[in-house]
């Protein structure tokens, strides 16, 4: 019952060639606007450091770039970045694992749902600076503190989205699976997981962004290495250049990470749902 | 040989927050189906037809009574075609077929392709459900039910969401596949002409989930909806339907 349109192959290839050209043009336009965005950002930066403040308060972009290069080549950039990266990832993974269990409870158990929602409201509305200081009080200067606090702050985002994903699962697909004799684990991997994936991924992305910021903040208070610690050291010695350079490097690594991991996963998933 | 034996089956749904009353979906259904027959279960909306199929399929538990679906003494494998296609949107048509199979081999793949060809869809096996029309999706649903080599085939108003033309061509597909396999079939519908066109026997349910009538349909196959003989049986079934309606109304007045 496939219908074949009554147009010639030539006409089709002509049509698709034109569509290809349009798609290419759109892609370049998109890249171009990204470039313009960056240029505008740098121009605004120059404007602020020269006109609004002065270069000693807010160093110019090329100065920060040079400083960043010095940090990468001459200081122990790798040690500190690795320390921070490790803590972010550890905290994030811890949050992800805990979230799956708690999200499941929220989705399927009314009592846990009420309890955990209350806790979430409480944690989400707690200022993160307070949490960072609390980390220092509870864990002292250690690696464990930032990891735990990062996990605590990131958990609600993944957890709520896991729950949302699970409650959004089409019950009828589960009934279908059961009627065809699928096992519990087959239903989990075949229906529950893929159908909540989009929602879980959105939550994970949000949680990741929060984890980066939380981790940096706890390091400022409660660490003896890591990017946050370096920023504090620069601050204590009135080294604005170093502070901004470390921040910029941190953001750069975070953006690269985001693009490598989440964008790629999302790209793979596109077109597979709904 | 497959047998479905339904004895004194009742199903009462407990009250819910949104509807705080008990609902009697089935009120003591007795029926038995044996062998390579196509049975239509005909009844108005809310007469418990879906509930009945779900209990036979084992995805719903009865309140009382019993259902036995067996094939040569062992529990029968059922294939279920639902009111809507119920395909996994993140899997291609072919992978939707493979999802219901236990072993993933070349052979199971060929079987999947065989039934897709049977419903005229082998060319779109690599597409996702959202890329198919509703009628094509439902055909995948039919092919999937046949693919598990079911002893008993359950179908719940599979064409009720379709427009008349699509429904008509899908009934043809179904007849063709069914004549090829001749599985024991329980086909739920509220469409009289559909029931007469497809079934060897029509079991009529009335609201409250009680069997009201059981009508044999002895017409040669394949049948055509415009055939005068088919029309005549349709008329007869409709007359009995009217008498059922009258009985229900009379009962309501008396009570
Ligand atoms: N999960 C449920 N919880 C509560 N009540 C239900 C549930 N499923 C069905 N019912 C009720 O049971 C009765 C029979 O429902 P059922 O879906 O079996 O009817 P049906 O004959 O399939 O109707 P239709 O032709 O509209 O599909 C209805 O009154 C319905 O409201
Ligand atoms: Mg129904």
Q: Which tokens in the block code for residue A235?
A: 């601050």
* Closest-CA residue to A99 (of A177, A46, A61, A155): A155
pLDDT digits (tens, 9 = 90+) for B55-97: 999 999 999 999 999 998 899 999 999 999 999 999 999 999 9
**Rounded distance between C-alpha atoms, residue B9 and residue B53, angstroms:** 12
The Å distance, Cα B50 to ligand 2 centre, comes to 4
Q: How far is A181 from chain B (nearest CA, A)?
A: 8
Pocket test for ligand 1, best of B19, B22, B46, B82 (most atoms within 8 A of CB): B46
Q: Which residues line ligand 1 (CB under 6 A)?
A: B 13, 23, 25, 43, 45-51, 190
Length of chain B counted residue by residue: 255
Quote the pLDDT of residue A7: 62
Residue B74, beta-bridge partner list? B71
CA distances from residue B118 to A268, B56, B97, B112 in whole angstroms, order as listed: 32, 26, 13, 10
Strand order in the sheet with B78-81: B78-81, B152-156, B184-189, B38-42, B201-206, B210-216
Dihedral angle sign, alpha carbons of residues B50, B53, B55, B58? negative
* Closest-CA residue to A176 (of B6, B35, B72, B83): B83
pLDDT digits (tens, 9 = 90+) for B187-221: 999 889 899 999 999 999 998 899 988 999 999 88
Q: Where in chain A is the domain with CATH 1.10.3720.10?
A: 61-269
| pLDDT of A48 above 80 | yes
Residue nearest to atom 13 of ligand 1 (CA): B25
What is the architecture of the domain spanning B2-36+43-77+153-158+184-254? 3-Layer(aba) Sandwich (3.40)
* B130/A173 CB distance under 8 A: no
Mean pLDDT: which of A170-179, B216-225, B237-246 is highest? A170-179
| Predicted TM-score (pTM) of this structure | 0.78
What is the helix (H) or strand (E) element at residue B110, kind and residue range?
helix B106-118
| pLDDT of A270 above 80 | no
Quote the pLDDT of residue A274: 46
| pLDDT of A9 above 80 | no
**Rounded distance between C-alpha atoms, residue B78 and residue B18, angstroms:** 33
DSSP state of B33: E
What is the helix (H) or strand (E) element at residue B185, kind and residue range?
strand B184-189
- B residues 180..219 contacting A (CB < 8 A): none
| pLDDT of A5 above 60 | no
The domain defined by A61-269 folds into MetI-like fold (1.10.3720)
Q: List CB-based neighbours of ion ligand 2 within 5 Å.
A: B 50
| pLDDT of A271 above 80 | no
Q: Is B29 helix (H, G, I), strand (E, B) or coil?
A: strand
């Amino acid at each position: 019952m496939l219908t074949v349109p009554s147009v010639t192959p030539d006409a089709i290839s002509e049509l698709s060639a034109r569509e290809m050209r349009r798609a290419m043009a759109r892609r370049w336009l998109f890249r171009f606007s990204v470039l313009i965005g960056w240029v505008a950002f740098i121009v605004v930066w120059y404007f602020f450091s020269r006109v609004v403040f002065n270069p000693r308060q807010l160093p110019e972009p090329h100065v920060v770039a040079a400083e960043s290069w010095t940090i990468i080549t001459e200081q122990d950039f790798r040690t500190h970045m690795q320390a921070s990266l490790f803590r972010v990832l550890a905290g994030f993974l811890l949050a992800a694992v805990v979230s799956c269990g708690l999200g499941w409870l929220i989705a399927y158990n009314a009592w846990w749902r009420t309890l955990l929602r209350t806790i979430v409201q409480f944690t989400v509305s707690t200022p993160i600076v307070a949490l960072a200081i609390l980390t220092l009080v509870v864990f002292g200067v250690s690696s464990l503190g930032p990891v735990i606090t990062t996990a605590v702050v990131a958990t609600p985002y993944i957890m709520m989205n896991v729950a949302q994903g699970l409650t959004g699962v089409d019950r009828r697909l589960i009934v279908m699976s059961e009627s065809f004799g699928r096992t519990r684990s087959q239903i989990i991997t075949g229906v529950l997981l893929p159908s909540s994936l989009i929602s879980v991924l959105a939550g994970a992305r949000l949680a990741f962004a929060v984890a980066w910021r939380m981790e940096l903040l706890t390091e400022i208070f409660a660490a003896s290495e890591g990017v946050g610690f370096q920023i504090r050291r620069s601050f204590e010695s009135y080294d604005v250049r170093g502070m901004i350079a470390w921040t910029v490097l941190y953001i750069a690594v975070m953006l690269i990470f985001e693009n490598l991991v989440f964008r790629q996963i999302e790209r793979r998933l596109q077109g597979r749902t709904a | 040989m497959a047998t479905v034996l339904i004895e004194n089956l009742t199903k009462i749904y407990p009250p819910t927050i949104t509807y705080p009353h008990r609902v009697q979906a089935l009120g003591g259904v007795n029926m038995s189906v044996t062998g390579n027959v196509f049975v239509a279960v005909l009844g108005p909306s809310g007469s418990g037809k879906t509930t009945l199929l779900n209990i036979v399929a084992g995805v719903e538990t009865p309140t009382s009574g019993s259902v036995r679906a067996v094939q040569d003494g062992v529990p029968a494998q059922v294939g279920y075609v639902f009111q809507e296609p119920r395909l996994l949107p993140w899997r291609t048509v072919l992978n939707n077929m493979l999802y219901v199979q236990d072993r993933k081999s070349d052979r199971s793949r060929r079987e999947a392709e065989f039934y897709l060809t049977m419903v005229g869809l082998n060319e779109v096996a690599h597409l996702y459900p959202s890329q198919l029309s509703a009628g094509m999706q439902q055909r995948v649903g039919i092919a999937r039910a046949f693919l598990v080599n079911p002893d008993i085939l359950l179908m719940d108003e599979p064409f009720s969401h379709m427009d008349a033309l699509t429904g008509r061509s899908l009934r043809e597909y179904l007849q063709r596949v069914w004549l090829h396999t001749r599985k024991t079939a329980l086909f739920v519908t509220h469409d009289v002409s559909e029931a007469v066109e497809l079934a060897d026997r029509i079991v009529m349910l009335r609201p409250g989930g009680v069997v009201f009538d059981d009508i044999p349909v002895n017409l040669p196959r394949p049948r055509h909806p415009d055939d005068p003989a088919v029309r005549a049986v349709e008329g007869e079934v409709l007359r009995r339907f009217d008498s059922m309606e009258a009985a229900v109304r009379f009962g309501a007045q008396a009570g």
